[in-house]
């Protein structure tokens, strides 16, 4: 099948600006995990293209989201991806309350006295689904329930199984953000790319995805886990996790349109990927790994800490294998003017493209 997107849609700067407006700003965006904002003044920054906003725990007023730009002299308020401190610009120490109002500005003299409303930080609507925090920066008319549909409850179910966050990292990819999305939507590449990792060590990738769900570009599916000597040994070692909250016998993968990837390996470990485009050919992939939740995990902490190291190392091995491939695809796209094709196992990509194309308002596919 010829796919609707051509090399042009991955390599053109002007087209990239169109999709930022029509796709990213037209949808609720995943920002961070609620558990990452558990303490007052904890914050997380999201940046893509030329946008920067932050979500923060204000205390009694809950989680709020604002544009990451001081209303005084336009300095970025938060520089790091995450941290813990009040909403204070470090240029002139302007400090803002939970409504985005500067609380120390009106004691200062201005050349011309501005209206109070002119000094408010731009604020965005926040919705929390389980442990997942979403922000509406483009003033989408849809509710988060309308956007997610059946995946609203799937995210709540996944959240119930999440234990302690193991690590957070950010890795720059020299490729279009859509290539990251498309890569996780099929396992047609698993045998040639992940033969020594996913296939041989976990028994994943010998069979295609099954048990699909689709809605508004969101999709999910299960990859069967083939029993082999390595996977059976692993199951025996991890028997103490048998009473985990979220238990299944597959590799379960969810794609939350347009740029959030969630996977669970039998409910034992969880990966959350978040693709943030800098340009048409540069994307930051934020990755989070979580251990599973069991009632008495601390009784097994020494064991689990060793397991967590393996979870991260193994996950990063897979990510690096994918990174090399998709960066080469980006290079190939810059040299190609031919149509691209979809195999019958790549129909989750087809569903992604269908919804994506329906949102691009200024281009006829």
Same domain as 234, residue 333: yes
DSSP string, 232-273: HHHHHHTGGGTT-SS--SEEEEEEETTTEEEEEETTTEEEEE
CA 77 vs CA 31, 41, 91, 106, 134: distances in Å: 17, 13, 8, 19, 20
Same domain as 338, residue 263: yes
Of 353 and 345, the one with more pLDDT: 353
Rounded Cα gap, residues 179 and 183, in angstroms:
6
Close Cβ partners of 164 (under 8 Å, ≥ 6 residues apart): 290, 291, 297
Instruction: State the SS3 of 54-87.
Output: EEEECCCCCEEEEECCCCCCCCCCCCCCEEECCC
Same domain as 211, residue 123: no
Contact by Cβ (8 Å): 95, 65:
no
pLDDT tens-digit profile of 54-89?
999 999 899 999 999 999 889 999 999 999 999 999
Q: Is the pLDDT of residue 341 over 60?
A: yes
pLDDT of residue 251: 93
Of 53 and 108, the one with more pLDDT: 53
pTM surpassing 0.75?
yes
Same domain as 204, residue 300: yes
pLDDT of residue 105: 64
pLDDT tens-digit profile of 118-150?
889 999 999 999 999 999 998 788 999 999 999
**Total structural domains within the chain:** 2
Q: What is the CATH number of the domain that holds 45?
A: 2.102.10.10
Same domain as 126, residue 191: no
pLDDT tens-digit profile of 230-263?
777 888 889 999 999 999 989 999 999 999 999 9
Average pLDDT of the chain to the nearest whole number: 93
- pLDDT band of 104, cuts 50, 70, 90: confident
- pLDDT band of 106, cuts 50, 70, 90: low
Same domain as 114, residue 157: no
Contact by Cβ (8 Å): 197, 189:
no
């Amino acid at each position: 099948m010829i796919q609707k997107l051509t090399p042009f849609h991955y390599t053109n700067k002007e087209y990239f600006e169109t999709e930022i407006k029509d796709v990213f700003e037209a949808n609720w965006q995943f920002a961070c995990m609620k558990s990452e904002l558990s303490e007052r003044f904890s914050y997380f920054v999201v940046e893509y293209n030329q946008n920067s906003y932050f979500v923060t725990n204000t205390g009694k007023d809950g989680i709020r989201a604002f544009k990451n730009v001081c209303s005084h002299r336009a300095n970025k308020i938060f520089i790091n991806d995450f941290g813990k401190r009040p909403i204070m610009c470090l240029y002139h120490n302007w400090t803002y309350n939970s409504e985005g109002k500067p609380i120390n500005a009106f004691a200062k003299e201005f050349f011309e006295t501005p209206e109070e409303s002119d000094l408010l930080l731009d604020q965005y609507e926040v919705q929390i689904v389980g442990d997942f925090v979403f922000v509406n920066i483009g003033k989408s008319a849809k509710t988060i329930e309308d956007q997610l549909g059946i995946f609203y409850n799937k995210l709540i179910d996944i959240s119930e199984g999440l234990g302690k966050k193991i690590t957070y990292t950010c890795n720059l990819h020299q490729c279009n953000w859509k290539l990251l999305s498309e890569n996780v939507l099929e396992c047609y590449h698993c045998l040639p790319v992940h033969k020594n990792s996913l296939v041989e060590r976990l028994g994943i990738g010998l069979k295609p995805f099954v048990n699909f769900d689709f809605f508004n570009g969101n999709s999910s599916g299960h990859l069967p886990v083939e029993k082999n000597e390595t996977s059976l040994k692993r199951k025996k070692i991890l028997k103490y996790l048998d009473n985990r909250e979220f238990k299944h016998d597959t590799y379960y993968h969810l794609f939350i349109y347009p740029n959030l990837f969630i996977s669970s390996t039998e409910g034992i470990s969880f990966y959350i990927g978040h693709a943030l485009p800098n340009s048409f050919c540069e994307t930051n992939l934020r990755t989070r790994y979580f251990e599973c939740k069991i009632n008495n995990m601390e009784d097994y902490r020494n064991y689990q800490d060793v397991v967590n190291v393996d979870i991260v190392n193994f996950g990063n091995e897979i990510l690096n294998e994918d990174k090399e491939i998709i960066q080469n695809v980006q290079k190939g796209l810059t040299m190609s003017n031919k149509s691209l094709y979809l195999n019958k196992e790549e129909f989750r990509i087809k569903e992604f493209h269908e919804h994506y194309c329906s949102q691009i308002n200024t281009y006829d596919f």
